[in-house]
Structure 1
Amino acid sequence: MITKTVAELLSADITLQDVSVKGWVKTFRANRFIALNDGSTINNVQCVVDFENFDEALLKRVTTGAAIHVKGELVESQGKGQSVEIQVKELEVLGDSDPETYPIQPKKHTFEFLRENAHLRTRTNTFSAVMRLRSSLSFAIHKYFNENGFYYMHTPIITGSDAEGAGEMFRVSTLDAKKPPLTEDGDVNYKEDFFGKETNLTVSGQLEAETFAMSLGKVYTFGPTFRAENSNTSRHLAEFWMIEPEVAFMDLAGNMDLAEDFLKSVLGYVLEHNKDDLEFLDKRLQDAEKTLPQAERSSMNLIDKIKFVVDNNFKRVSYTEAIDILRNSKPNKKKKFKFIIKEWGADLQSEHERYLVEKHFKCPVILFDYPANIKAFYMRLNEPDHEGRETVRAMDILFPGIGEMVGGSQREERLEVLKEKMKALDIPEEELWWYLDLRKYGTAVHSGFGLGFERLVMFATGMGNIRDVIPYPRTPQNAEF
């Protein structure tokens, strides 16, 4: 007897054969039709039961959420909505299932309710589709870098440096929280801590990745990062995953080429390999948008939005040019923007980024050469422009519907310039002596970028809240599961 997953049964040409399949009951209608799903596909296989051949007590245990083992003959379906079905010959209920308390009943649930039951929410079509897409995107990322000569490195989760300089980090300590050892000045004496210094959970693996790029050439990280930012918005998590490639001897133009090719590749992969999930999520999104006012509806459906990125060349625009476009735009002049653009140096918001992509250029956009004072210390300083304004070789990639997707830069390879920038920001040289060493021993042009994985999953699934694209979200006041 052939043992198959539901996905294999629905795609294989093996009708009129006895098959075996295990899964969870989605519904059991009329004591006859079982919709069975095992997570391998968004689609269910229908199992047809002749109740006269089975004990009534057994059939009463076949309730929504129950795990069962079915054996029977796979035949062409006589009903609508499926090509094949199983005529059940043997049925076994594998474990207990309480139909009175099972949370995921066959009805519509709010996402808030499902977050409270995150251990079971992948039993729903929406979340099973989202997590399969997350898995496919993860595989596509590793596949892309592997095929393009990158080495995968694991950067430290515990670190003594703040790569972003934001200071919003989770402390790692074994000291007694109630009675920590103190110095003569009354400060916590971290020399007595486990690592002999103050340490935190990492916000980025970039700085360590740079060290490997300057010996292995092309490397990337893909791991968890942490921000102790007390924010409860739909776009913030305290724990999330970052993809960060770093490449030696590559300038900003090469960095933009790499990021564009990378994004087109991984999104193209899910278009090809996750059609059923994308079609389901696309329909879910369209149904949800029917309840919104016309002005709030998206101009593109989910699949078209992904194709918009995959099929279009990204427009490259300097920050200075973008500011001029935004300052002279109708939404800005009529004060339709929440954040009015008044002058050069403004930090662009999501509404500005989406205007450039969706209204002005109508394609993905790469902005580059940002003002130095709104970007990180490690970005390569340009020569001042004709007005004496200082910019850095930074770049952000903007997508429809979401705004910034990627942030990157050519890194500052000049030792003295980097030391001056660190001094201006009060970053002690002794804290990053090893990072400065890269500029002393064999320094060279190098570049890289960072991509928040959950933001990419949001874009590919159409989900509106970042908490719904990670298995177990970590947010302020919430570390359940």
Structure 2
Amino acid sequence: MVKKYSVKEILDKEFSILDYKVIVEGWVRSYRNSIFVILNDGSTVKNLQIILSKRMDKRITKEITIGTSVKVIGIIQKSIGEKQNIELKCSDLIIYKSVDSKKLQKSILQPKQHSLEKIRNQSHLRFQTNIFSCLMRIRHFISFSIHNFFHIKNFFCLHTPIITAYDCEGVGKMFRVTTLKNNLLDYSNDFFKRKTYLSVSGQLEAEAAIIGLGKVYTFGPVFRAENSNTTRHLSEFWMVEPEMAFFSLKECIDLAEEFLKFIIQFILDKCIEDLSFLNKNLKKWDKIKNNFLIKRLESLLNISFYRITYTNAIEILKKNKTIRFIHPVTWGMDLQSEHEKFLTNYYFKGSPVVVFDYPSSIKAFYMRVNDDNKTVSAMDILFPEIGEIIGGSQREERYKILLNRIKKFNINKNILWWYLDTRCFGSVPHSGFGLGFDRLVQFITGMDNIRDVIPFPRTPGSAEF
């Protein structure tokens, strides 16, 4: 019986399956001299060379173009060429679908270097490019490592609502969800009988779940309606949000650092071929040099993240004499991207930095107020080039203080009645954080634009699919 293999399985087995008759399916990456077909099926960045028989029906070989989907049956043999160890000598080839030559000429599947912007403009085809298939495989393994980490740590995965009646942060712009067709909104006639929105976070539901489950995490899409057309922002993006009962802020920071290092080590172990390909080919866009991508990831595993208070960070920024900031530095301000990059890229020389104990006036209502009544037990983890990649805090478990914070932020307590109510049923000190999944993918892969690391980016003015 002839067995079907993926391209990765064949290349991984190499000489152990010499003279085996196999089936492989995929898409033609190149075709030359009417004999050599370079095949890829998405399982690896590497390709498999197919040697066609000179006796093969010319009507079939004439249909082969770049992008043609095929099924190949043949024998694995040693390659006489220098670029590959093995190749597949074809005995039978079946074409599933060829590619229209006129469409091919205008597509990103042409065998030449395309700009990332052009590739982005043909998002429905970019899965067939080497660079984007690398990105998607790495994205998969990052996702897998996240679930793996929390499973090892005895967390429970929690699926929180996408449709919600409140804004977790209390300050964001949200997408409204309604079935009403006019602007004179009578919510008593709406589907949910009230104002509803696409969720910006599953955190508050996760806080309810830990009173009984102990440790949970959410991993899902969230939505922001801000008109932020930058290389670091998406309107629809993915967040990972663990919540832990009986955790202090320090324990939360320790877990977050361990979490990030676990993911990076996992990707170095599982995705080195894809990382090497990106490292090599991103040089063509002058983004990365001298194997910097892999070295940068490896260096993070061998250091402890710097930890400084917000007040210390402000002092460091004020003493800066080398870079002129657009936003003046004062205590009580929210750190801007330029400040975060100065701390990570320059002052701490490319190392991640944890900034904690922020002013209470610039942080969310649910963060625990410190004894000084000026700051809250909040933290941000800043990565080089990216800036904030994780934000977290110890949550306010004290009912009266939480209620006062809600009032201070002018949030309707009647909407958050259930969240307040959790503080009356066995509430405990607890902490949690949120990881911007797409930003982590962006950092690991070295991509300059966050739209290049998500399959179908949703940004202001762009929702084509």
TM bucket (normalised to shorter chain) is over 0.9
* Correspondence for 2:101 among 83, 99, 102: 99
8 Å CA contact retained: 2:280, 2:291? no
Q: Counterpart of 1:258?
A: 255
Q: Name structure 2 gaps, 5 residues minimum.
A: none
Q: State which drifts further: 271-280 or 82-91.
A: 82-91
Matched, 1:147 2:152: yes
What is the SS of the residue equivalent to 2:144? Answer: helix
CA drift at 1:475? 1.1
Q: Counterpart of 1:112?
A: 117
Counterpart Cα distance in 2 of 1:329 and 1:377: 32
* TM-superposition CA deviations, 1:166-211 (whole Å, max 9, x none): 2411111111236x4xxxxxxx221221111100000000001100
Counterpart Cα distance in 2 of 1:317 and 1:16: 61
Q: Counterpart of 1:453?
A: 437
Q: Counterpart of 2:358?
A: 370
What amino acid sits opposite 1:379 in the alignment? M
Matched, 1:203 2:180: no
Q: Counterpart of 2:395?
A: 411
Matched, 1:315 2:306: yes
Counterpart Cα distance in 2 of 1:157 and 1:19: 45
* Correspondence for 1:55 among 54, 57, 60: 57
8 Å CA contact retained: 1:312, 1:364? no
8 Å CA contact retained: 1:286, 1:301? no
Q: Counterpart of 2:212?
A: 215
Q: Counterpart of 1:185?
A: none
Q: Counterpart of 1:392?
A: 376
Percent identity (aligned): 49
What amino acid sits opposite 1:310 in the alignment? L
What is the SS of the residue equivalent to 2:250? Answer: helix
* TM-superposition CA deviations, 1:299-351 (whole Å, max 9, x none): 9811112122222111111111111111112325xx2x33342x212221222
* Correspondence for 2:26 among 13, 23, 35: 23
Question: Residues 323 and 300 from structure 1, CA distance in 2 versus in 1: closer, same or farther, beyond 3 angstroms?
Answer: farther
* Correspondence for 1:273 among 250, 270, 274: 270
8 Å CA contact retained: 1:309, 1:399? no
What amino acid sits opposite 1:276 in the alignment? E
* Correspondence for 1:160 among 137, 154, 165: 165
8 Å CA contact retained: 1:36, 1:44? yes
CA drift at 1:112? 2.4
8 Å CA contact retained: 1:410, 1:445? yes
Q: Counterpart of 1:184?
A: none
Q: Counterpart of 1:428?
A: 412
Q: Counterpart of 2:37?
A: 34
Q: Counterpart of 2:48?
A: 45
* Correspondence for 1:238 among 228, 235, 240: 235
8 Å CA contact retained: 1:236, 1:466? yes
Q: State which drifts further: 208-217 or 346-355.
A: 346-355
TM-score (norm 2): 0.95
Q: Counterpart of 1:249?
A: 246
Counterpart Cα distance in 1 of 2:33 and 2:357: 65
Counterpart Cα distance in 2 of 1:99 and 1:462: 34
Counterpart Cα distance in 1 of 2:96 and 2:187: 53
Q: Counterpart of 2:177?
A: 172
Q: Counterpart of 2:425?
A: 441
What is the SS of the residue equivalent to 2:17? Answer: coil
8 Å CA contact retained: 1:33, 1:47? yes
* Correspondence for 1:478 among 443, 454, 462: 462
Matched, 1:360 2:315: no
* Correspondence for 2:333 among 338, 346, 363: 346
CA drift at 1:80? 2.3
CA drift at 1:288? 2.2
Counterpart Cα distance in 2 of 1:350 and 1:132: 29
Counterpart Cα distance in 2 of 1:131 and 1:467: 12
What is the SS of the residue equivalent to 1:316? Answer: strand
What is the SS of the residue equivalent to 1:431? Answer: coil
What amino acid sits opposite 2:292 in the alignment? N
What amino acid sits opposite 2:84 in the alignment? Q
8 Å CA contact retained: 2:65, 2:98? no
Q: Name structure 1 gaps, 5 residues minimum.
A: 181-187, 291-296
Counterpart Cα distance in 2 of 1:107 and 1:213: 52
What is the SS of the residue equivalent to 2:38? Answer: strand
Counterpart Cα distance in 2 of 1:22 and 1:315: 49
Counterpart Cα distance in 1 of 2:181 and 2:102: 46
* Correspondence for 2:294 among 297, 303, 322: 303
**Alignment size in residue pairs:** 458
What is the SS of the residue equivalent to 1:467? Answer: helix
* Correspondence for 2:446 among 462, 467, 474: 462
